[in-house]
Amino acid sequence: MKHFRSLHDVKDIKALIRRAITIKRHALRNEALGRGKTLGLMFMNPSLRTRMSTQIAAANLGMQVAVLNAGRESWALEFNDEAVMDGEAVEHVREAAAVLGEYCDIIGLRSFAGLTDRAADYAETMQSAFVQNCSIPLLSLESATRHPLQSLADAMTIEEYATKLRPKVVLSWAPHPRALPQAVANSFAEWMGALDADLWITQPEGFDLATSFSSRARVCYDQDEALKDADFVYVKNWSSYDDYGQRGSGLDDWQISRQKMALTNDARLMHCLPVRRNVVVESALLDGPSSLVIPQAANRVYAAQAVLETMLTEMM
Amino acid sequence: MKHFRSLHDVKDIKALIRRAITIKRHALRNEALGRGKTLGLMFMNPSLRTRMSTQIAAANLGMQVAVLNAGRESWALEFNDEAVMDGEAVEHVREAAAVLGEYCDIIGLRSFAGLTDRAADYAETMQSAFVQNCSIPLLSLESATRHPLQSLADAMTIEEYATKLRPKVVLSWAPHPRALPQAVANSFAEWMGALDADLWITQPEGFDLATSFSSRARVCYDQDEALKDADFVYVKNWSSYDDYGQRGSGLDDWQISRQKMALTNDARLMHCLPVRRNVVVESALLDGPSSLVIPQAANRVYAAQAVLETMLTEMM
Amino acid sequence: MKHFRSLHDVKDIKALIRRAITIKRHALRNEALGRGKTLGLMFMNPSLRTRMSTQIAAANLGMQVAVLNAGRESWALEFNDEAVMDGEAVEHVREAAAVLGEYCDIIGLRSFAGLTDRAADYAETMQSAFVQNCSIPLLSLESATRHPLQSLADAMTIEEYATKLRPKVVLSWAPHPRALPQAVANSFAEWMGALDADLWITQPEGFDLATSFSSRARVCYDQDEALKDADFVYVKNWSSYDDYGQRGSGLDDWQISRQKMALTNDARLMHCLPVRRNVVVESALLDGPSSLVIPQAANRVYAAQAVLETMLTEMM
């Protein structure tokens, strides 16, 4: 792969998952691979897991890491190619991306959906601007519509904890006090689809994901029915794609509770974190034996390392 | 030691001080000890000395360091176990700490006292939440009630500059425009007590430290009397423990001046920094030959390195 | 050189430029030179290129880097030596600089001009305070009146792209929505002067640089005349030195356009970045073949590395 923006950049998804699982046992097996190479990490939005896990993965490969928190440590960016830049933005992405391309060997970029202009978000304007203006591989740290490092860690986790060949995986919408992007859900649906998983997506009416992401899943508006006999429950909020960016109301009973988990086949609980306890999911579930959220987060290091290792290897 | 939260985590305080003094002469003597290991540093509050000295100490041991400035770069944290998280906090410390425990080998945490709820501060609720939810050693970078890396550096400094076996050490309260935590003073009193120093504490009425920290010191409300024949004067402001978090008023004459230092036995002046000149202490003293504030700050690197070296060694 | 604040700290400018050009081809040739040494980077102002390029340069030399973003991650600083510090500033530069001098081996400092007090800015009060209170070499990451790492990269770029022995170099003022320091322009004029370049400076009346910087250049208030037969056009805004810190108005036609570049000898376009497109310079020029802004920014790594390498070598 040159870039890592989505699974479409990955030649063999299953091989990449296996590579990540191997790295987990031998994290320093390639500690000189990235010698003299720099990973630049540009954060347009907050990050704990992505920030830490990607830094550690890069260091495990011997890379140097330089972090840039955009807009506070650096300059406000302009993305409009026609702009007369007499306002707040101090630098155009054309220069910023090109310069980072000169300084670094791989650039990681996190930029969330704005949730106001669906066409712009789904065109991945910000990520595309970096790819177009930067000569080096781009590693998505979550973009407007996808979070592929998360999905890779998710797929690793399911591979590790599955007790049957084709487990039933349910992606369930949950309530949230703020409107969130669809990126994690889109990306999870896309990866599960590509892996030919038995994926169900359950959400209230009006919260369907874009069909390009959900087409290989079974969509079900009845949460109880979807949860029945589930082996994995991936709980996640997302705002509406149809009524773009709206978070809905009166949907609090979509919270995943112990009672709802009782409908499943002793399913394991997944979430990408951060999670709002007792809003998205009952806190007792997160503290209980069914929860995989911590091992899932731990896998982020190995997911990032598998991708960086692949990029570095193909660069040589 | 597993954790380093206070001297109660240290088996042999004098041996740790000696180790720090040795490291000062041979900073790179163990430069491969931390290979492949990560120190995560989580700052809930600003930091110059702690931030820099701990990073350098870790690098001297070959560790990788990943810094997280909470609440700006990352997510606002919830600490209440019963919370319905529909407000500002995006992530619960249970998940945040557990995830950092997966990513790192040692986690450093700085979290100041809130100074509104004494019971919560003195229960060290935030530090305890990390320890309870995180599987790895915790290195205190200053907590609500203690600053043990500072105290270790302070003890090193007194060991280095003492010209008699049992010098008279005076911890003197000083005025300050803002209410500050008791952490540095508590911790210094605790370490000096454990080292059986001839410690005096002088402060205005109403500013007594908690007796659990000050019980081995001689408390004196007359600053002049306390300063008499002192060999070391450690000046520091703290807000009231009794009238919790109040800073008092009309106490400007507690500032340490050249005139007051004339009462001492040519005492050396100590302060943990940052210090407000001409409020806490007369600036001429900081610029004069009696001041130890810079060597004291310099010792922070070796204090941190002695603790990290001990943790890494015991981990193997 | 001990410090690197301006070209006056450099023994042989041409040798330094050659060294930087050599490093560009052999970036890891001295990857152990900085082993066990720490570069502290203190940013009082935002930075993208300087932040990233200096970190990478230091890492290429095997140094550890510790970054401090002043005022947010750390403490607000006081610079007045007589101050009674009962206000916002928590720490005096005397202590902060001295402590950084203990922790690091080289300290990088970025601090822009305030643009209100010309005497203070041109006395370089902040940089001087660091130099006076810090025992280690200071690397300017842009000060109130100069940006020497930028000038070194600029000189490298002209050396690399010049097609004649003594090209005509034109530094042209351009409009900008906000008042900017004179640092980049001053420094460029100073370096070109020292290199005996055929330097022209063109600007509106009232925007003359201080003569101490511009004395070796030919000053011309007619932009068209200055641009005639130019081989390099360095476009840059600066606020007025005479009417200190004022940005002027009604000067939009000083923007560098394709039409104006047609007056030159197929000149190459330079700018230090960040640049406001269609305000300072027509965006088509930045995207066209005459632009050197990206290679110029890329050279910042090698400029920083040449200076750090020199400092480290002379330290041994």
| C12 three-state secondary structure | coil
Residues C86 and C167 both lie in one domain: no
Q: Do A90 and C293 lie within an 8 Å CB cutoff?
A: no
Q: In terms of domains, do C18 and C128 share one?
A: yes
Looking at the structure, do residues C280 and C206 belong to the same domain, yes or no?
yes
Q: What would the mean pLDDT of C232-245 be, rounded to a whole number?
A: 98
Which tokens in the block code for residue B297? Answer: 């700050």
ipTM of the predicted assembly exceeds 0.85: yes
Q: Is the pLDDT of residue A246 over 90?
A: yes
Q: Check C73 against B43: CB less than 8 A apart.
A: yes
Bridge partners of B97, per DSSP, are: none
Q: Which of A40, A84, A102 sits opposite C279 (nearest CB)?
A: A84
B38 interaction partners in chain A (CB closer than 8 Å): 56, 59
With an 8 Å Cβ cutoff, is B205 touching chain A? no
* % of residues, chain C, pLDDT over 70: 99
Q: Are both B250 and B264 inside the same structural domain? A: yes
Q: What is the structure's pLDDT at B87? A: 93
Distance from CA of B84 to the nearest CA of C (A): 30
Instruction: Write out residues 45-64 of A within 8 Å (CB-CB) of B.
Output: 46-49, 51-53, 55-56, 59-60
How close A55 gets to chain B, by Cα (Å)? 7
Which positions ≥6 away from C12 have C-beta within 8 Å?
A: none
Q: Name the residue range of residue A204's domain.
A: 148-296
C-alpha C11/C-alpha C13 separation (Å) is 6
Q: Answer yes or no: is B285 within a domain.
A: yes
Domain count, chain A: 2
Q: Per the domain annotation, does A2 fall within a domain?
A: no
C251 touches chain B (CB under 8 A): no
Q: How confident is the model at residue C243 (pLDDT cuts 50, 70, 90)?
A: very high
Q: Given CB atoms, is B179 within the 8 Å cutoff of chain C?
A: no
Q: Say if C281 falls within a structural domain.
A: yes
User: Among candidates A306, A8, A310, A292, which has minimal Cα distance to A145?
Assistant: A8
Ramachandran sector of residue B161 (left: φ over 0; alpha: ψ -120 to 50; beta: rest): alpha
**Do B175 and B291 have their domain in common?**
yes
Same domain, A130 and A165: no
Per residue of chain B (316 residues), give pLDDT as tens.
899 999 999 999 999 999 999 999 999 999 999 999 999 999 999 899 999 999 999 999 999 999 998 876 778 899 999 999 999 999 999 999 999 999 999 999 999 999 999 999 999 999 999 999 999 999 999 999 999 999 999 999 999 999 999 999 999 999 999 999 999 999 999 999 999 999 999 999 999 999 999 999 999 999 999 999 999 999 999 999 999 999 999 999 999 999 999 999 999 999 999 999 999 999 999 999 999 999 999 999 999 999 999 999 998 8
Chains linked to C by 3 or more Cβ pairs within 8 Å: A, B
User: A156 pLDDT exceeds 80?
Assistant: yes
Which of B23, B47, B48 is the best residue to mutate to test the C interface, defined by the most C CB atoms within 10 Å of its own CB?
B48
The pLDDT value recorded for residue C50 is 97
Nearest to C298 among A94, A96, A102 (CB): A102
Q: C74 CB near a chain A CB, below 8 Å? A: no
Q: Mean pLDDT of all residues in chain A?
A: 96
Check if A225 contacts C (Cβ < 8 Å): no
In this model, does residue A71 exceed pLDDT 80? Answer: no
Q: List beta partners, residue A91.
A: A77
pLDDT value at residue B73: 76
Task: Give the CA angle between residues A149, A150, A153 to the nearest 5°.
Answer: 90
For the stretch C190-199, pLDDT in tens is 999 999 999 9
DSSP B7: G
Say yes or no: A107 and A157 in one domain.
no
Residue where the block lists tokens 């004022």: C246
Which pLDDT belongs to residue A128? 97
Other CB atoms within 10 Å distance of the CB of residue B246: 14
Q: What is the pLDDT of residue A11?
A: 96
> Is it the case that residue C72 has pLDDT exceeding 80?
no
What pLDDT is recorded for position B74? 79
pLDDT tens digits, A204-242: 999 999 999 999 999 999 999 999 999 999 999 999 999
Model pLDDT, residue C153: 98
Mean pLDDT of A167-186: 98
A208 and A92 in a common domain: no
The answer to whether residue B2 is domain-embedded is no
- Looking at the structure, do residues B134 and B154 belong to the same domain, yes or no? no
Neighbours of A41 (CB within 10 A): 23
- The confidence score (pLDDT) of residue C1 equals 87
User: Is C43 at the interface with chain A, CB within 8 A?
Assistant: yes
pLDDT score, position C2: 94
Q: Quick one: average pLDDT of A83-102?
A: 95
Q: What is the pLDDT of residues C1-10, one digit of tens each?
A: 899 999 999 9
Cα(C268)–Cα(C290) distance, rounded to whole angstroms?
5
For range A58-65, the mean pLDDT: 97
CATH number at residue C30: 3.40.50.1370
pLDDT band at C139 (very low <50, low <70, confident <90, very high): very high
The answer on B219 and B185 residing in a single domain is yes
User: Does C89 share its domain with C170?
Assistant: no
In tens, the pLDDT along B226-273 reads: 999 999 999 999 999 999 999 999 999 999 999 999 999 999 999 999
Confirm whether B188 is domain-assigned. yes
- Flag whether C50 is in a domain: yes
* Chains sharing 3 or more CB pairs under 8 A with chain B: A, C
**pTM (global) more than 0.80:** yes
Q: Is the Cβ pair A72, B75 closer than 8 Å?
A: no
Tokens found for residue C149? 């790492």
**B1 within domain boundaries:** no
Q: What's the confidence (pLDDT) of residue C63?
A: 97
The pLDDT mean for chain C works out to: 96
- C1 inside domain: no
Whether residues A67 and A190 share a domain: the answer is no
Q: Is the pLDDT of residue A60 over 90?
A: yes
Q: Give the CA-trace dihedral at B75, B79, B82, B83, to 10 degrees.
A: -40
